[in-house]
Amino acid sequence: MSSPLDPGAAISIRGLVKRYGDRNAVDGVDLDIRRGEIFALLGPNGAGKTTTVEILEGYRSRDGGDVAVLGQDPAEGGRRWRAEIGIVLQSGAGDSQLTCLEVLTAQAAYYPDPRDPAEVLELVGLTDKAGARGRSLSGGQRRRLDVAMGIVGRPALLFLDEPTTGFDPEARRQFWSLIRSLRDLGTTMLLTTHYLDEAEELADRVGVITAGRLVEVAVPAELGGRGQAPAVVSWTEDGARRSQDTPTPTALVAELAARFPGEVPDLAVARPTLEDVYLQMIGQSR
């Protein structure tokens, strides 16, 4: 028997089930996301991420379980509840004939306490594109406009579905700093991503979902026992690459330092990345 919904959480989920035909796309998910937290949902294609997120957004019905999003059942969320939620979809506003400022001003009019559209453009780094039409923007600029649309209503909770797909490395870093400024403003965020470095960089906690089940929830540094995993020390010796797993890499490096006259050739100390443990987890659960 699972515990009751947590009324203080931004998102509280117990025993969530969604069926398509005779298959459970979401198969008994329990999860609490704290207010102010950035939570990343990871999982392979078809794992059930979008289905789960769309149920939380109130866009899909569920077949079982209890859900509270900002204290409300999303299946019954009214206009006031909806105004507290921002959504950044996989593709959004970019095709509009309107200018960025116009499209954002039109969106802001739906909300009781919107942010100033010009300030939002500044926040997403599109001030110099205020007068440009959506369809003249680059892919990365369109995504920023999507984010601007998602946050102009001053949401307490923001859903971001694969927000940086198609970004160049610099645009991704700028986007990450935008997400951090939203966190500093108190916004709770649930993001789905296939970029493990993005999850590591942004998320307070990550959840891995495979075949509709949440297999682990942890801070990125601890996922899959990563915090306790041995380090791999590698170096070059007698023209060959050597490597050794060790729980005490400092001792091994000291030993190598004593053995070599100067620099230890090509010395590297590595621990499993989030991607390493993630791939291992989803491999095991298939």
Ligand X SMILES: Nc1ncnc2c1ncn2[C@@H]1O[C@H](COP(=O)(O)OP(=O)(O)OP(=O)(O)O)[C@@H](O)[C@H]1O
Residues that bind ligand X (CB under 6 A): 20, 25, 43, 45-51
Closer residue to ligand X, CB minimum distance, 16 or 264: 16
Shortest Å distance, C-beta 126 to ligand X = 26
Closer residue to ligand X, CB minimum distance, 84 or 198: 198
Residue 150, token pair as written in the block: 């998602």
Shortest Å distance, C-beta 49 to ligand X = 3
Continuous H helices in the chain: 49-56, 79-83, 100-108, 117-123, 139-151, 169-184, 196-202, 249-259, 274-284
Shortest Å distance, C-beta 47 to ligand X = 4
Closer residue to ligand X, CB minimum distance, 237 or 275: 275
Tell me the C-alpha distance between 149 and 141, whole Å.
Answer: 12
Shortest Å distance, C-beta 55 to ligand X = 10
Shortest Å distance, C-beta 224 to ligand X = 19
Closer residue to ligand X, CB minimum distance, 50 or 188: 50
Pairing verdict, β 240-246 and 23-33 = unpaired
Question: 47: exposed, middle or buried (C-beta count within 10 Å: 0-12, 13-18, 19+)?
Answer: buried
DSSP state of 45: T
Closer residue to ligand X, CB minimum distance, 183 or 213: 213
Tell me the C-alpha distance between 243 and 235, whole Å.
Answer: 6
